[in-house]
Amino acid sequence: MVKLRHPETIGLRIRVVLGDGLIIGPGRADLLEGIRDTGSIAAAGRRMGMSYKRAWQLAEALNTTFHAPVIIAAKGGVAGGGAHLTPLGDQVLDAYRTLVRTAQTEGGGSLATLNTARTGP
């Protein structure tokens, strides 16, 4: 991997499109990670600056994307219920993070070229 001049500014935003449409991208991955970290869909959404409604819609979209649910949620209760990832959800999130990391590492030469094209030699 070629070393970049400003590694802190590098970002690859990867959307995985398989079959009918989007499977997972940066937003969906962040929501899954937020649910894993906070145990709550609402809290995961807040962390991303997302409304309660939008976070729930995204969670529902995620749950119909795969062959089985990736998020288990309890909607009711005084505390607003809790949520957690299923083993499949963990697997999806981990595979996506690995994919991005791999692309960033193995694509280091291409990224260095693009960065130099930006800044000048």
In the bound state with its own copies, the residue whose beta carbon lies nearer, of 43 and 90, is: 90
Tokens 């869909």 -> residue: 41
Q: Does 15 bind its own copies (CB under 8 A)?
A: yes
Q: Which of 77, 96, 100 is nearest to 33 (CA)?
A: 96
Strand, coil or helix: what is 85? strand
In the bound state with its own copies, the residue whose beta carbon lies nearer, of 41 and 70, is: 70
DSSP state of 8: G
In the bound state with its own copies, the residue whose beta carbon lies nearer, of 51 and 91, is: 91
Q: Does 31 bind its own copies (CB under 8 A)?
A: no
Q: Which residues of 51-88 are buried (b: 16+ CB within 10 A; e: fewer)?
A: eeeebbebbeebbebeeebbbebeeeeeeeeebebeee
Number of residues that bind its own copies (CB under 8 A): 41
String marking each residue 85-114 x if it binds its own copies according to CB under 8 A: ---x--xx--xx-xx--xx--xx-xxx-xx
Tokens 């009918």 -> residue: 20
Q: Which residues contact its own copies (rule: CB under 8 A)?
A: 6, 9-19, 23-25, 65-68, 70, 88, 91-92, 95-96, 98-99, 102-103, 106-107, 109-111, 113-115, 117-120
